[in-house]
Amino acid sequence: MEFAKQVIQTDPNPTYVKNEHGKFVLANAAYADLHGLTVEEMLTKDTNFFDYSYERDLELLRKNEALSIEELYKLKNGEKKWFNTIKKTFTQPDGTRYLLSVSSDITLLKSAVQAAEESARSKESFLASLSNEISISVSAISGIVKLMKKSLLNKDQEGYLDTITSIADNLLVPPSELLEVAKLEAGEVKTVTVPFEISTVIGETVRAVACKEQGVKIHYNETVEKIPMVEGDPFLLSQVLIKLINNAIKYMRHGEMTVSVERLEISDDMLHISCCLKETDVGFSAANFKTVHDTLIEEQSILNQLYNGTGLGLTIAKKLLELQKGKLWLENKPGQGNCFYFSIPYTLSKSDSSLNKVASHTKSDQLNGLRILIAEDNHLNELLLTSQLKPFGIDTDIAYNGEQALVKANETKYDLILMDIQMPKLDGIKATYEIRNKQSLNEYTPIIALTADFHEIDEDRYKYYGFTDCMLKPYPESKLLQIIACYAGRKTAPQNPTPHKAPNEESTLYDFSGLGNLKDDALFIRRMQQMFVETVPLQLDELEEAIERKELSTAAHIAHKLKSTFGNIKIMIATEAVKRIEEHANSKTKMDEMLRLMQIVREEVNKVIRVFSNQLHI
């Protein structure tokens, strides 16, 4: 042991040894310096005030596991250092277990990585800014054109205005596609797996694109053979279709396009589909065909694709298919047109939604006369929803942002509210929270969350915020009607949901009852309050900084610790928020959402700290 002590003390890397109770038994000056302490102080001082690794180390000791992690330390002089830390347990012959932790300074490497990431973020930010600037200008042009069309114009003048509108719309495409390519290359686009109906997704996507396309007629030839339900990413399938249809339209001034599923193969619980987008006119010219064909089989630079006129739509579609282990190719049929083929393998789904049973007993007149509020900022999605509901005699009101949704919910009683999550001015979560907690006419009305972000689907989370249920976009028409029948239909409507109320009394901010007998130990409670006031704000600072610097493994670790801290004394809103932060950090998604959740955490923590400070007479 003496030899080990000498080795550790002379090691320039921060090193320590803990016993099975998580207490320091050995440490070197390099580690003590990180905390502004001497080795003697480290071995004798109450570690609860500075040892943020305590709980994690105890867990490693208990499970007899090893761990490699990146850690950030803030020194007393304000300097920040990054370390790669390796922790490993070892057992003595008598069965006593210890934990050895050795850290290597990676500050320079981390700085280089962060500089590269910052460069990538700057590129993405520039593209987003460029897209926004162009979008604002195009919107102004479109607005002027609309005003001019209201005046007396001859046929030629109307044609000129249509040309201006077309050019303006096309200006929006390149920067938007550049941004998509940047995200694909950065690995920010992830696939998810959910049950869905292929035919429904294709049919509704084609219908949505056909609604806005005037010069080319677009059809979907549904297969006679029923396509089984599969598990995969319906949103990416929809994106591929939109990119391919829009790309094909570039080469067609008129005519028709047909989308069809041409081949189905089932083997080993897998379904392999091959789809065809066939333009039924005379087809591309030989030069155009070669250009498109070369884009599909060769890796061309972005500038080359923009220069040769193919744009980036094909590249994006190809990359999205590759994410799904699919492929894309083009075939020319002389005198018959051309066909973009793509294939994707899917796993056959074994799910059987109980809502299908509800729908099978739902009559169309059962929904007649229902009044539904649709809160949706995407005009295409709004058009699709209203078109789907109109044949059933359902009256709809539209809100294009969360603020409009609140106004309408305060003025009119609805049978159901369909609430998009991502909306301008006020998002769907905040709008729903306001409806549930401000004694509005729709305080008890069923509210269904609509989201295209499959990573965000968590029924418990949505119910926590006051939603009755949630639906993934794109969703089949049958699923939409099933949801409405279940929650707003006259014969199947459940009881009104209990609204989620925000804590409004001091006693509901926290609860020590989960501490067992210690809840009655006044000295222990006082010490816990003191520690909370002194340490939690610092941990929140570290968490927010880790999020802002995109050090997501560190953010996940800190959030995990805070989740335990808040959960122990039942600070429920903060516990839920850091839980979501941890999930986002682990999946490397939703940076903006994490920062929004940080605001919620700080608000709740500040409330608790004010109460604790008063009780401690600080």
Q: Where is mean pLDDT largest: 167-181, 246-260, 432-446, 510-524?
A: 432-446
Tell me 207's DSSP state.
H
CATH domain 355-487 topology? Rossmann fold (3.40.50)
Query: Tokens 């570039």 label which residue?
Result: 250
- R_g (Cα) of the chain, nearest Å: 30
What pLDDT was estimated at residue 405? Answer: 92
CATH of domain 506-616: 1.20.120.160
Is 70 exceeded by the pLDDT of residue 385? Answer: yes
Counted residue by residue, the chain has a size of 618
Contact 585, 559 (CB under 8 A): yes
- In three-state secondary structure terms, 474 is coil
Q: Categorize the per-residue pLDDT at 499 as very low, low, confident or very high, splitting at 50, 70 and 90.
A: very low
Q: Where is mean pLDDT largest: 184-198, 424-438, 467-481?
A: 424-438
Quote the pTM value.
0.42
Q: Which helix (H) or strand (E) holds 346?
A: strand 337-348
Query: Tokens 């041409």 label which residue?
Result: 262
Q: Do strands 469-472 and 15-19 pair parallel, antiparallel, or not at all (unpaired)?
A: unpaired
Distance CA 175, CA 411 (A): 40
> For every residue of 509-578, which 3-state class applies, written as one string?
CCCHHHHHHHHHCHHHHHHHHHHHHHHHHHHHHHHHHHHHCCCHHHHHHHHHHHHHHHHHCCCHHHHHHH
**pLDDT tens digits, residue range 178-203?**
666 666 766 666 776 777 888 888 88
- In three-state secondary structure terms, 419 is strand
Alpha helices in 39-106 (DSSP H): 39-44, 54-63
CATH 3.30.450.20 for domain 2-105, yes or no, is yes
For the chain, percent helix, then strand, then coil, each to nearest 5? 55, 20, 30
**pLDDT tens digits, residue range 535-571?**
899 989 999 999 988 888 888 889 888 887 887 788 8
**pLDDT tens digits, residue range 286-340?**
555 555 555 555 555 444 544 444 457 777 888 888 888 888 888 776 666 678 8
**pLDDT tens digits, residue range 518-541?**
666 677 688 788 888 888 999 899
- Lowest model confidence (mean pLDDT) among 126-135, 314-323, 371-380, 470-479: 126-135
- In three-state secondary structure terms, 398 is strand
Distance CA 325, CA 475 (A): 23
Q: Which residues contact 292 (CB under 8 A, 6 or more apart)?
A: 284, 310, 314, 330
Q: Categorize the per-residue pLDDT at 491 as very low, low, confident or very high, splitting at 50, 70 and 90.
A: very low
Q: Categorize the per-residue pLDDT at 125 as very low, low, confident or very high, splitting at 50, 70 and 90.
A: low
Contact 40, 117 (CB under 8 A): no
Distance CA 51, CA 42 (A): 9
Distance CA 586, CA 581 (A): 9
Nearest to 123 by CA among 315, 343, 302, 365: 302
Nearest to 480 by CA among 579, 381, 409: 381
Amino acid at 304: N
Query: Tokens 């920010």 label which residue?
Result: 188
Please state, in angstroms and as integers, the Cα–Cα distance from residue 179 to each residue in 131, 157, 173, 317, 417, following that order: 8, 35, 10, 14, 33
Tokens linked to 119:
């460069």
Distance CA 425, CA 608 (A): 29
Distance CA 399, CA 413 (A): 14
Q: Categorize the per-residue pLDDT at 470 as very low, low, confident or very high, splitting at 50, 70 and 90.
A: confident
Tell me 378's DSSP state.
-
Amino acid at 611: V
Nearest to 601 by CA among 544, 545, 528: 544
What pLDDT was estimated at residue 367? Answer: 80
Tell me 28's DSSP state.
-
Angle at 134 between CA 129 and CA 137, to 5 degrees: 130
Distance CA 231, CA 214 (A): 34
What pLDDT was estimated at residue 340? Answer: 82
Distance CA 593, CA 583 (A): 11
Which parts of 110-255 are beta strand (E)?
194-196, 217-221, 230-232
**pLDDT tens digits, residue range 575-588?**
888 888 988 888 88
Alpha helices in 27-154 (DSSP H): 29-34, 39-44, 54-63, 107-149
What pLDDT was estimated at residue 353? Answer: 43
What pLDDT was estimated at residue 288? Answer: 55
Let me know how many helices (H) and strands (E) the chain has, helices first. Answer: 22, 17
Angle at 269 between CA 223 and CA 193, to 5 degrees: 85
Is 90 exceeded by the pLDDT of residue 418? Answer: yes
Contact 100, 87 (CB under 8 A): yes
Burial 152-183 (b: 16+ CB within 10 A, else e): eeeeeeeeebeeebeebeeeebbbebbbbbbe
CATH of domain 198-348: 3.30.565.10
Amino acid at 253: R
Is 90 exceeded by the pLDDT of residue 37? Answer: no
Distance CA 162, CA 166 (A): 6
What pLDDT was estimated at residue 244? Answer: 83
Alpha helices in 49-106 (DSSP H): 54-63
Amino acid at 498: T
Query: Tokens 């207490």 label which residue?
Result: 23
Please state, in angstroms and as integers, the Cα–Cα distance from residue 295 to each residue in 187, 306, 313, 341, following that order: 21, 11, 11, 14
Residue with the larger pLDDT of the pair 497 and 584: 584
Angle between helices 313-323 and 234-249 (to 10 degrees): 160
Contact 224, 188 (CB under 8 A): no
